[in-house]
Amino acid sequence: MSDALAREHRTVSRVTTILEAAGQSRDGVRLAGLASLLGAPKSSVHGLVKGLVATGYLEEQAGVYRLGPALDVLVRPARAEFTLSARRALENLQRSLDETAILCRLVGDAVVYVEMVESGQLIKYSAPLHRRRPLYPTSSGKCFLAHFSPRRRDAYLAEHVEAARRPLIVEELDRVREQGYAVNRGETVPDVSAAASPILVQGRVVACLAVAGPSARITDELDRVAAEIRVEAARVAQGRF
Least-confidence region, from 21-35, 90-104, 205-219? 21-35
pTM of the prediction?
0.73
Are 110 and 132 in contact by the 8 Å Cβ rule? The answer is yes
CB burial class (10 A; 0-12, 13-18, 19+) of residue 178? exposed
- 95-154: pLDDT as tens digits: 999 999 999 999 888 898 999 999 999 999 998 888 889 999 999 999 999 999 999 999
Q: What pLDDT sits at residue 240? A: 60
φ/ψ bin of 37: left (φ > 0), alpha (ψ from -120 to 50), beta (otherwise):
alpha
Number of Cβ within a 10 Å radius of residue 46: 14
- Spell out the domains of the chain, with CATH numbers in brackets: 10-68 (1.10.10.10), 74-237 (3.30.450.40)
Query: How many Cα atoms are found within 13 Å in the side-chain-facing hemisphere of 147?
Result: 21
DSSP state at residue 188: S
User: What are 159-179's pLDDT values in tens digits?
Assistant: 999 999 999 999 999 999 999
